[in-house]
A = this chain, B = another copy of it.
Amino acid sequence: MENPFTDEYFMKKALQEAEMAFEKDEIPVGALIVIDNKVIARGHNLTEMLNDVTAHAEMQAITAAANFLGGKYLTGCTLYVTLEPCQMCAGALYWSQISKIVFGASDEHRGFEKMGTQLHPKTTVVRGVLANEASDLMKRFFARKRK
């Protein structure tokens, strides 16, 4: 039997989180943290609602996952996020020692890869999973904003 718990499977759930941000008029980014095929944390961008630049989807998911696990290290966990993390979120992921990061759309301007932010040496990265879906959502958001 085929494993249903693919990266696409979890990224679809992260996209649902991003849709929730979209509906709140927040830049639509969603994140999920998974361990052993189980979702232990979710988050979506809330920087406008909370008036807080630190309220990115990933930051909330990191805090929630550590809370669930009862420890601050996310070894064995995978983060799914619809947009490439920024310097801040990549810096938090560095401290968390998370095992794997899967992101959707690249952020050519403010993504951690362009900015040169270092991840933990134990962390692996998978890029471009459902990237078109994530990027279409961003485009719809900014098109609505311009109206």
Contacts and interface: CB of A to CB of B under 8 A. Distances in A.
A16 interface: no
Counting every copy of the chain, the complex holds 2
B96 A91 contact: no
A70 B67 CA distance: 28
A115 B53 CA distance: 21
Interface in A27-70: 47-48, 51-54, 59, 62-63, 66-67, 70
Contact of A88 (B63, B66, B67, B94): B94
Most buried by B among A51, A52, A67, A115: A52
A54 B94 CA distance: 11
Interface string A76-104: 00000000001111111011100000000
Given A87-B87, A87-B90, A87-B118, 10 more contacts: A51-B70, A51-B72, A52-B67, A52-B72, A53-B73, A53-B92, A54-B95, A91-B91, A91-B117, A115-B117
9 contacts: A51-B67, A52-B67, A53-B72, A54-B59, A54-B92, A86-B91, A87-B91, A87-B94, A88-B95
